[in-house]
Amino acid sequence: MTTLPGIAESYWLSSTAPTSFPPLTQDTEVDVAVVGGGIAGITTAWEVAKTGRTVALLEADRVLTGVTGYTTAKVTALHTLIYAQLAASRGAEDARRYAHSQLDAVSYLTRTVGELSADCDLERLPAYTYVESADRADDIRAEVEAAQAAGLSASLVTETGLPFPVAAAIRLEDQAQFHPRRYLLAVVADLIARGARVHERTRVAQLDEADPCRLTTDNGSIVTARDVVVATHYPVFDRALQFARLVPRRELVVAAALPVERDPGGMFITPEDNTRSVRTAPYGDGQRLLVVTGEHFTPGTGEVAERFKRLIAWTRERYGVAQIAYRWAAQDIDTTDRLPYVGLFHPGTQHVYVATGFGGWGMTNGMMSGRLIAALIDGDTPAWADLYDPRRANPVREAPKFLKAQAKVVKHFVVDRLTTSHVDSVAEIPPGTGAVVRLGGERSAVYRDSNGAAHAVSAVCTHLGCIVAFNDAEVAWECPCHGSRFGIDGTVLQGPANRPLERRVLED
């Protein structure tokens, strides 16, 4: 059994009170139904409600307990190294529109905090992308030039507040960081004050794109709406094979108390060392909470505890912290061209919208998405709408990444079935661990708890049938194909799957 330091919970969740909105138990009709209670869904619902339309926000669990509750909460137009790539692949104008839309999200956050008087630890700080290796300094220089050409007031620096030297860094002033749950709970409160309905523990199982649209929940309740927004991080409905253009990745987060005088004074990220992202947050008593993210990997590929250990060791070595206070993990979705999909879900619809593929920058893109979709529903077309249109396609530009992503899916779908079971029998599974075992000719995912009791469910993901694998640090089953996650009892923790893993009975 793996033991790691720190509270296994997001600081943002542990420092705020839980919500308790009622589930939907009867049929209802609204102008707009929003599926997903994270930053994209809540922002969309709020912006739509401000136009006078009736809104229902439907969340399968509790609002802000999914991906948004496990973010690092940076809001910035500086997204590691993207502008040089965008300028090369899509042209200077698209790079400028991307920069403009991201800066707009930063401004939107500060305006909304003021409008709602949200107590959310908002801080305006510079953002940096840095490298330590001199071999990668040219990457930073190219990014600075591309970012400046895109309209950002970026600069090249070699000195930062980090406690170690860097070879080069791009700096962008006046970006933002905040407490995401405190901010979004304030938005939810105003959303309800405007007459919107928020329903938790309401999982949407079916979508009928008739006119009007109909959403059916897992308890049989039906929501009728002219427009539907699917803001579930990874879309829970497969439309136009969009899932084939989305790639999930998981990242680990650790947090530790840091004396305020050792605060590096900004938001930092490097593509080196399998990604290292750093920020701090107010923590009281002359301290800041150092939040470090990194060690990204494909869900369901194992050795998560070892990855946590590497991230913890790096954090202690670089920042001199003795104790880890919190640890958690985030999940991101990348698209094959690195731009989010925000807008009408597929070519055949006029009333179903989607927001997905934020590529690790969910706070900025979540706000951008909410404003963009609300504008589209209201009949407006923002200047960057076609940049994010999910219906876009460029086979030449996307083909290499598309083929690479699908090769991985095929490998897991086929090879995982042909290889032998992870263990030969349930008896081989130590307490506190899990493994895939063949039982009665079928693959079962079996977890043995600390008391020795075994819990078995089907090992076949209910999304598209890939074989799940055990996450030893978070005690969950994960699908390596599209990122669905399940509890040890088979319950859905994260989509795109919307049905639980079937329970299996173990023979004595």
pLDDT tens per residue across all 508 residues of the chain? 568 999 999 999 999 999 999 999 999 999 999 999 999 999 999 999 999 999 999 999 999 999 999 999 999 999 999 999 999 999 999 999 999 999 999 999 999 999 999 999 999 999 999 999 999 999 999 999 999 999 999 999 999 999 999 999 999 999 999 999 999 999 999 999 999 999 999 999 999 999 999 999 999 999 999 999 999 998 888 766 666 789 899 999 999 999 999 999 999 999 999 999 999 999 988 899 999 999 999 888 878 999 999 999 999 999 999 899 999 999 999 998 999 999 999 898 999 999 999 999 999 999 999 999 999 999 999 999 999 999 987 654 555 655 555 555 454 445 554 454 566 788 788 888 888 988 877 888 898 888 888 888 999 999 888 899 899 888 899 998 888 999 999 999 988 888 899 998 886 5
pTM over 0.85: yes
pLDDT given for residue 433 in this prediction: 85
Please say whether the structural domain 395-508 has been given the CATH code 2.102.10.10.
yes
pLDDT at 395: 53
- pLDDT score for 420: 44
Query: What is the 8-class DSSP label of residue 50?
Result: T
Place of tokens 């470090």: 292
Spell out where 36-109 has E strands: 55-58, 74-75
Q: Could you tell me the CA-to-CA distances from 359 to 53, 452, 501 in Å, in that order?
A: 30, 39, 27
Write the CATH number of the domain with boundaries 122-175+247-331: 3.30.9.10
Residue 307 is predicted with a pLDDT of: 94
CATH 2.102.10.10 in the chain: give the residue spans.
395-508
Asked whether the beta carbons of 149 and 92 are under 8 A apart, the reply is yes
The residue written with tokens 């539907």 in the block is 228
φ and ψ at residue 454, rounded to 5 degrees:
-100, 140
What is the spatial distance between Cα 201 and Cα 37, in angstroms, rounded to a whole number? Answer: 11
Question: Cβ distance 391 to 344 under 8 Å?
Answer: yes
Radius of gyration of the chain (CA): 22
**Burial of residue 452, with CB atoms counted within 10 A of its CB: 0-12 exposed, 13-18 middle, 19 or more buried:** exposed
DSSP state for residue 155 in the 8-state scheme: E
- The DSSP call for residue 67 is G
399: left (phi over 0), alpha (psi -120 to 50) or beta: alpha
For residue 427, what pLDDT is reported?
79
Helix, strand or coil for residue 156? strand
User: Where in the chain is CATH 3.30.9.10?
Assistant: 122-175+247-331
- Residue with token string 């970006």: 175
The residue whose two tokens read 């980090």 is 162
Distance CA 112, CA 107 (A): 9
